[in-house]
Amino acid sequence: MTKHTLTPENWIGLYADQLLSYAVVRVPERDAAKDLVQDTFFTALRSKDSFRGEISEKNWLYLILRSRILDYYKKRKEVLESDLAPDDDDDTFDDNGHWMDSRLPQEWSTDSIVQNKEFMHVFLQCKSGLKVLQAQVFSMKYIDGEETETICKELGITSSNYWVLIHRAKLQLRNCIEKNWFTK
């Protein structure tokens, strides 16, 4: 097996933009994404003696960034707990659990949208509008394709917390995308 080596002098040129593109779809603000990438490089430099060359430099940097992103959410633990408040129930449904008139889903015409850059920005903006923990659960599930059990473990939440969060996230996001793109 070939041993991988580190060449920190090339990191910025090779990986800065790639890592930023990765971070920007996973955290709510662009500036936070930039800080996390910068942090990733510093952390990598500081721990470069622990690099054993078993994975590529690039994958190693991605792993560090991924753990920086998790830490970023963990630091917001107080905020996170308020996301689970039972009275936080959104205004999507009435007391009988039926759709509110203003939230009734409308038909979308989704042809040829998937690679549309402007649409992607609306999508990300809507995701940024979610509560912190909702956004995190959504990213881990739908962007990273993580297992539910992994998400619960990493964020320290129960499976019923998970379902509440993912449900609220999906309802909010769907509504936001509809209002800001499809019926605009």
Partner 1 sequence: MINCKESTRLSLKKEQKKISLRERIMLSFHHLMCKYCRIFDRQSAWIARVSSTLHISESFSDEEKAHIEMKMKEFK
Binding region for partner 1 (CB under 8 A): 8, 11-13, 16-17, 20-21, 24-25, 30, 33-34, 37-38, 41-42, 45-46, 92-93, 96-99, 104-108, 110, 113-114, 117, 120-121, 123-124, 138, 141-143, 145, 148, 163, 166-167, 170-171, 173-174, 177-178
Contact 104, 94 (CB under 8 A): no
Rounded CA separation 105/87 (Å): 23
In sequence order, what are the residues at sequence separation of 6 or more whose Cβ sits closer than 8 angstroms to the Cβ of residue 92?
Answer: 99, 100, 103, 171, 172, 175
Which residue, 78 or 95, has its beta carbon nearer to partner 1? 95
Min CB(39)–partner 1 separation in Å: 10
Which residue, 83 or 178, has its beta carbon nearer to partner 1? 178
99 bridge partner residues: 93
Contact 174, 126 (CB under 8 A): no
Min CB(13)–partner 1 separation in Å: 8
Min CB(1)–partner 1 separation in Å: 29
Which residue, 53 or 105, has its beta carbon nearer to partner 1? 105
Burial of 132 (0-12, 13-18, 19+ CB in 10 A): middle
Min CB(79)–partner 1 separation in Å: 23
